[in-house]
């Protein structure tokens, strides 16, 4: 039997096991039906952030941002473009530091935008400042093995 990868649903918090061979087929949460690895950027709350960071088997890149931050808003389309390009091998999420200051504090966020790459429960690397999609892709690929298209 093929081994599966664990993915946290950002909508309901349920952990799902998905066969690795089915990742490209657009797996959905078994509880709420939300897409799990479709290349969209997930909006994370504190609980979903913590659960995904701890439990996801796929690399997870989190953008710590705030609505009032101009560079954060400028980078958002580039972050989304990178998410599409690395799906389904890497998942992307955003955490609003204004809405979830305790999570930002635990993550030691000193300035935004800040990107932290997690894999299997640990921080792999971080990158500060607004970046174009090409730099985001290079950052992720330099720290975790992902297929090149």
pLDDT score, position 1: 38
Interatomic CA distance for residues 71 and 16, integer angstroms: 34
pTM: 0.94
- Name the token pair of 128: 């500060």
Domain-located, residue 18:
no
Residue tagged active-site, from 8, 9, 29, 72? 72
Active site residue 72: yes
Domain count of the fold of the chain: 1
At a CB cut-off of 8 Å and minimum separation 6, what does 96 contact? Answer: 43, 65, 66, 67
Interatomic CA distance for residues 70 and 32, integer angstroms: 34
Domain-located, residue 1:
no
Domain-located, residue 57:
yes
Nearest to 52 by CA among 111, 92, 3: 92
Domain-located, residue 122:
yes
Give the domain extent around 72.
39-143
pLDDT score, position 3: 77
Tens-level pLDDT at each residue, the chain (149 residues): 357 899 999 999 899 999 988 988 989 999 999 999 999 999 999 999 999 999 999 999 999 999 999 999 999 999 999 999 999 999 999 999 999 999 999 999 999 999 999 999 999 999 999 999 999 999 999 999 887 65
pLDDT score, position 70: 97
At a CB cut-off of 8 Å and minimum separation 6, what does 123 contact? Answer: 116, 117
Check: CB of residue 121 under 8 Å from CB of residue 70: no
Residue 91, CA atoms < 13 Å, CB-side half-sphere:
31
């Amino acid at each position: 039997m093929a081994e599966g990868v664990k993915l946290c649903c950002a909508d309901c918090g349920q952990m799902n096991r998905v066969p690795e061979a089915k990742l490209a087929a657009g797996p959905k949460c078994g509880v709420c039906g939300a897409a799990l690895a479709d290349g969209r950027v997930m909006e994370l709350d504190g609980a979903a952030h913590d659960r995904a960071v701890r439990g996801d088997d796929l690399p997870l890149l989190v953008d710590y941002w705030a609505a009032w931050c101009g560079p954060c808003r400028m980078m958002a389309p580039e972050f989304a473009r990178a998410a599409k390009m690395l799906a389904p091998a890497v998942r992307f999420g955003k955490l609003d530091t204004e809405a979830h200051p305790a999570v930002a504090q635990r993550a030691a966020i000193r300035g935004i935008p800040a990107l932290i790459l997690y894999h299997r429960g640990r921080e792999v690397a971080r990158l500060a400042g607004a970046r174009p999609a090409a730099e985001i892709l290079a950052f992720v690929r330099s720290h975790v093995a992902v297929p090149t298209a």
